[in-house]
Structure 1
Amino acid sequence: MIVPGSRSQALSAALAAETGLPLATPTYDRFPDGETLASVPAFEADHAVVVAATPSNDAYVELLQLQDAVREAGAESVTTVLPYMGYTRQDRAFKHGQPVSARAMARAVSTGTDRVGVVNPHESGITEFFDVPCESIDAADRLAEPLPDEFDEPLFLAPDEGAVELIDSVRDGYGRGETDYFEKTRDRDTGDVEITPSDAQIADRDVVVADDIIATGSTMSDAVDVLLERGAARVFVACVHPLLVGNAFIKLSGSGIDGVYGTDTLERSISSVTVAPAIAEAVELGE
């Protein structure tokens, strides 16, 4: 039985449709003192698949409660799917005395589950922080689905060299096109950072810039500015995790892009494609 966290309801429904598994109906309450209470009153199954994005502290507490609730209701085994795992950018202690927050979160999640699947974690090493088997689920190829199908010689660009594998997945999902990445150079005198595509020809081409997360939108907006200055015909922006903090959506919408797409790992207005098929395949769910 699939058990959705409050921030992953649409994805959980899509996963239920994809796998044929029944969908539980949890309740999400809050006491006057601010404490949360996530319950699964009608849960009846031997195995629970808890699907819960964790973009906030409350979301983590809710996930831990759902894991405990299904055990209390009789689940013999639990699989936890983290469509978006918060704290993954805190994958090391940056200063003496600071925590490795991603490790702390992973250990906490591990206490209530038998295995974990994480969709496109920001750092691949995150999976090693869990005390139970954990699999990284690549859903980047799903970003190709909402793209226009009439691209002639599309160019798929990663915002930096670290996202090359992700941009290759997007291109492979689309079926054709060239890939490249932006290089960042810092002016020694001013400290200003300049981003430029490394080798690709930009003029008169349709360009897709894709990354795992869009948070503030600043990096993407800077990339779009460079592409339009170089004569790109159209520019599309895509991400697996549309975090979209603050005015990120407005920033992107005003940058001159022709479309912006995200998945439902975080359910936002730009979530135009589901990662349910990637999850179902990776964790071998089914009736």
Structure 2
Amino acid sequence: MIVPGTASQALGAALAAETGHELAAVDYERFPDGERMASVTVGDDTDRAVVVASTTTDAAHVELLQLQDAVREAGVDEVVTVLPYMGYGRQERAFEAGQPVSARAVARAISTGTDRVILIDPHEASVTDFFDVPCDVVGAAARLADPLPADLTDPLFLSPDAGAIGLAESVRDAYGGGAVDFFEKVRHSGTDVEITPSDAAVEGRDVVVVDDIVATGSTMSESIGVLDARAAADVYVACVHPLFARNARTKLERAGVTAIYATDTIERDVTATSVAPVVADAL
């Protein structure tokens, strides 16, 4: 049985279709005092529940814990939790004394209601160590090749920094051709990012900028600007997690992006492909 959270309803349906499992009926309610309640209708012969829930907000975290508890209360023997996008997953260490390791805190909470966790391309791979149950990572970057135009001109798959070059290689390999390179990136703060152009020739070439997550859009928009200044042809953005905080989408559009393609780990209007097939394989 596939149990979708509010933020992952399309992905839940896609996963149910991919696996042939039942899509659970889930009700989401809010009490007059603002508290939430998520409840699930579970069949008598259901022995495993796969809870699929991106935790993009604090409310989504609470909802996930309630869904886990609801299927346990209904007598389900095995609970698998799929976190397409794990909120607080980038806070994997404390920068000052007295600060929390937020990824650890939420991982411990999630672990109490599940037998196994599946993460999709976490920004920090080390977060898997914070779970008290088996935790598997699924790579979904290759799915981003599907929506790309089939006739890219001498394509260059470019990551915003060296750490994401593996994602760019995955998209390039799935696409079937092209070169791979990366920008040098120096982050001065959460919103101040300095981009140094790579040595790759971009003039007249179609460029696909690949990253795991677009949050504020600062890195991506600056990358697009650099490519435009160097006379690249079309510039596409491909990301696994389209978080798009605040005015991130506007930044990309103003920078001159040709198109944005993302997966359904976070369901946005730029969602162009589903991670359901790779999650199904992991199940």
Q: Is TM-score (shorter-chain normalized) higher than 0.5?
A: yes
Gaps of 5+ in 2: none
% identical equivalent positions: 63
Task: Report the CA distance shift for 1:91/1:252 in structure 2 as closer, same or farther (over 3 A).
Answer: same
How far off is 1:42 after superposition? 4.1
1:114 and 2:126 matched:
no
Give the match for residue 163 of structure 1: 164
SS in structure 1 at match of 2:103 = helix
- How many residues are treated as equivalent by the alignment? 279
Give the match for residue 36 of structure 1: 36
How far off is 1:8 after superposition? 0.2
Aligned-partner Cα distance in 1 for 2:249–2:198: 27
Offset from partner CA, 1:93-136 (integer Å, 9 cap, x none) = 11001111001100100000000000010101111110000001
Give the match for residue 12 of structure 1: 12
Contact kept, 8 Å, 2:193 with 2:218, in 1: the verdict is no
1:124 and 2:125 matched:
yes
Aligned AA (1:23)? L
Within 5 A, what are the aligned runs for 1:211-226? 211-226=211-226
Give the match for residue 279 of structure 1: 279
Task: Report the CA distance shift for 1:92/1:186 in structure 2 as closer, same or farther (over 3 A).
Answer: closer
How far off is 1:152 after superposition? 3.4
Contact kept, 8 Å, 1:180 with 1:197, in 2: the verdict is no
Give the match for residue 64 of structure 2: 63
1:77 and 2:78 matched:
yes
SS in structure 1 at match of 2:180 = strand
Aligned AA (2:277)? P
Within 5 A, what are the aligned runs for 1:133-282? 133-184=134-185, 194-282=194-282
Contact kept, 8 Å, 1:216 with 1:248, in 2: the verdict is yes
Contact kept, 8 Å, 2:261 with 2:272, in 1: the verdict is yes
Offset from partner CA, 1:144-188 (integer Å, 9 cap, x none) = 11100001320000001111111111111111111111013699x
Aligned-partner Cα distance in 2 for 1:56–1:149: 36
SS in structure 1 at match of 2:255 = coil
Offset from partner CA, 1:3-53 (integer Å, 9 cap, x none) = 000110000000011110110010011111111100003444110000000
Contact kept, 8 Å, 1:215 with 1:243, in 2: the verdict is yes
Contact kept, 8 Å, 2:42 with 2:71, in 1: the verdict is no
How far off is 1:238 after superposition? 1.2
SS in structure 2 at match of 1:254 = helix
SS in structure 2 at match of 1:233 = coil
Aligned-partner Cα distance in 2 for 1:89–1:80: 19
Aligned AA (1:120)? D
Aligned-partner Cα distance in 2 for 1:218–1:193: 7
Contact kept, 8 Å, 2:118 with 2:135, in 1: the verdict is yes
Aligned-partner Cα distance in 2 for 1:225–1:186: 17
1:88 and 2:89 matched:
yes
Aligned-partner Cα distance in 2 for 1:18–1:113: 22
How far off is 1:257 after superposition? 1.2
CA RMSD of aligned residues (A): 1.5
TM-score by length of 1: 0.94
Give the match for residue 27 of structure 1: 27
Give the match for residue 49 of structure 1: 50
Aligned AA (2:77)? E
SS in structure 2 at match of 1:10 = helix
Contact kept, 8 Å, 2:195 with 2:219, in 1: the verdict is no
SS in structure 2 at match of 1:40 = strand
Aligned AA (2:91)? Q
- Further displaced range: 245-254 or 9-18: 245-254
Aligned-partner Cα distance in 1 for 2:40–2:112: 19
Contact kept, 8 Å, 1:264 with 1:273, in 2: the verdict is yes
Aligned-partner Cα distance in 1 for 2:187–2:111: 41
Aligned-partner Cα distance in 2 for 1:42–1:18: 20
Aligned-partner Cα distance in 2 for 1:257–1:282: 33
How far off is 1:218 after superposition? 1.2
